[in-house]
Amino acid sequence: MSHPHPELGPPPKLPEGGLRVTPLGGLGEIGRNMTVFEYDGRLLIVDCGVLFPEEEQPGVDLILPDFTSIRDRLDDIVGIVLTHGHEDHIGGVPYLLREKPDIPLIGSKLTLALIEAKLQEHRIRPYTLEVVEGHREAIGPFDLEFVAVNHSIPDALAVAIRTPAGMVVHTGDFKMDQLPLDRRLTDLPAFARLGEEGIDLLLVDSTNAEVPGFVPPERDISNVLRTVFAGAQKRIIVASFASHVHRIQQILDAAHEYGRRVAFVGRSMVRNMGIARDLGYLRVPAGLVVDVKALDDLPDEEVVLVCTGSQGEPMAALSRMANRDHQIRIVQGDTVILASSLIPGNENAVYRVINGLTRWGANVVHKGNAKVHVSGHASAGELLYFYNICKPKNLMPVHGEWRHLRANAELGALTGVPKNHIVIAEDGVVVDLIDGAARIVGKVQAGYVYVDGLSVGDVTESSLKDRRILGDEGIISVFVVVDSTTGKVVSGPQIQARGSGIDDASFNAVVPKVEESIAKAAADGIAEPHQLQQLIRRAVGRWVSDQYRRRPMILPVVVEV
């Protein structure tokens, strides 16, 4: 198995007749999925998603792929194929289209409807091409064929990309549920046909490669939901992803069966379920769904609320309910269902929400105590089955953390893919398919791009480090006025602390040390404010470290008069 090395440099020019594959996100992480394919000077992008921040990225709203390597080649992009409508696959599209709004978007009906609604908020009207499974479309030098796959959202597609360099198949996210709610199976006969034709490189979803066996059918959740609904005495509040149409369908079915009305809470949930209903992907009995304002007129035992926040997102509806910061107040006897998995890194936030809800008297049903979630990603048994059908010549695991990628590679090797034909890459690693062999040839920039409010890319790792220090250790400000001629202290130093756990009065002990540093600097002819600030920072920092074993941010301000 080939794998990236730190010493990788920029890739060479793509040889004539070769196909280049550059993942810009989704490898080594769950989210931010984006892969760039290059042939004959033209680029095809598959997916452009976002990653959601973790606790060590305070203040960050979203994390985007790094477009640096393609920014000067936007005119070469022939299209963006969107495999399905989840945020980790489409959330970055508005930010790429800001740079070139006329890049065509290619996807299924539901996927395009979801991204078009999102782009409306960014005031972008995209050019779209709707495709269905079995459809073939020539986009520049790329001959694309779309294959139906089953996932936790309707209308998901895999894509086969044919070029003279060979055929690449990208699965997108998929599983092999044999009893899907919409009766739309992963098209194994199509994959078998592609395998017979010859798949030169297979890019495969790795998320559940460590999980043995097969993923249970989505419909298995129905009986669990009925049991919860039957035992609920007051309101039922369900938290789910705003795009999980199949899960919401089962909630609606259970609510209808037990005589409850349903209200959607949260802008994204209202928007996405409205789109799914209008397009026929969500079957809603007449009168079942009501506006949230109408719930005041209904008894608690007839109410179901469906909201976002299953991952503990601070601003999502469920988190705000747990914090008593929402118009909907949790009361004793309410039932809350977290109908989703835990995305790695979100565990602490989710358990914090569960504890908050439980504190107010809610009965919280989650994956840890009831079967209210099944995964949308193929487990090891399904992947083995899939490899035996596709028989790829080269394999590149995608969509997963390092442990997932390596587990997926091992599964491929077990089914007969030669180990020297399995490429374990990471974001930015460039893979060329030449003469039927996939090889790592270099690396391009593919770091995190942070979205903070309206700013994109302005937040750096350095500023995040400052935020973490402020959050963990607090800040100490030191204000000093000095004579510009003599360098002597005219006023101050005034020292204040916030969040450091040190009482302001305690700084009386360090004032003489600061004065001594400034006096010594004046004697040595040092009067430049920046140099004085550095001296003050060192003096205060040394004292705080010696006395308290802490490392707060120290902000010295020197004013000359």
For 288, the enclosing helix (H) or strand (E) is: none
Describe the crossing of helices 380-390 and 188-197 by its angle, rounded to 10 degrees.
40
Which range, of 255-264, 302-311, 374-383, 494-503, averages the lowest pLDDT? 494-503
Contacts of 289 (CB under 8 A, 6+ apart): 252, 261, 262, 263, 264
User: What is the model's pLDDT at position 46?
Assistant: 97
- At residue 454 the predicted structure's pLDDT band, cuts being 50, 70 and 90, is low
The total of other beta-carbon atoms located within 10 Å of residue 192's CB is 14
- At residue 460 the predicted structure's pLDDT band, cuts being 50, 70 and 90, is low
For range 312-341, the mean pLDDT: 80
Asked if the model's pLDDT at residue 461 lies above 70, the reply is no
- For 360-390, letters b (16+ CB in 10 Å) and e give eebbbbbbeebebbbbbbbbbbbbeebbebb
Among residues of the chain, what percentage have pLDDT more than 70? 88
The domains of the chain, with CATH numbers, are 19-213+375-452 (3.60.15.10), 218-365 (3.40.50.10710), 461-560 (3.10.20.580)
pLDDT one-digit tens code per residue, 415-427: 999 999 999 999 9
- At residue 413 the predicted structure's pLDDT band, cuts being 50, 70 and 90, is very high
For range 510-528, the mean pLDDT: 73
The total of other beta-carbon atoms located within 10 Å of residue 102's CB is 11
For range 452-464, the mean pLDDT: 64
Asked if the model's pLDDT at residue 465 lies above 70, the reply is no
**454 or 266: whose pLDDT is higher?**
266
User: In one letter, which amino acid is 86?
Assistant: H
User: What is the model's pLDDT at position 457?
Assistant: 60
- At residue 366 the predicted structure's pLDDT band, cuts being 50, 70 and 90, is confident
**Which stretches within 27-160 are classed as H helix?**
68-71, 87-90, 93-97, 109-121
- At residue 281 the predicted structure's pLDDT band, cuts being 50, 70 and 90, is very high
For range 369-389, the mean pLDDT: 91
Asked if 98 and 74 touch (Cβ cutoff 8 Å), the reply is no
Q: How many residues does the chain have?
A: 561
For range 255-280, the mean pLDDT: 91
Most confident of 153-162, 236-245, 370-379: 153-162
Among residues of the chain, what percentage have pLDDT more than 90? 50
User: What is the model's pLDDT at position 466?
Assistant: 63
User: What is the model's pLDDT at position 544?
Assistant: 76
User: In one letter, which amino acid is 554?
Assistant: I
**Torsion angle in degrees (nearest 10) through CA of 169, 173, 177, 183:** -80
Tell me which DSSP letter residue 302 carries.
G
For range 155-170, the mean pLDDT: 97
Asked if the model's pLDDT at residue 4 lies above 60, the reply is no
Alpha carbon distance 514, 5 (integer Å): 48
Asked if the model's pLDDT at residue 3 lies above 60, the reply is no
pLDDT one-digit tens code per residue, 10-66: 999 999 999 999 999 999 888 899 999 999 999 999 999 998 766 666 566 678 899
Asked if the model's pLDDT at residue 517 lies above 80, the reply is no
Asked if 186 and 149 touch (Cβ cutoff 8 Å), the reply is yes
User: What is the model's pLDDT at position 72?
Assistant: 93
Global confidence as pTM: 0.82
Please, what is the average pLDDT of the chain? Answer: 86
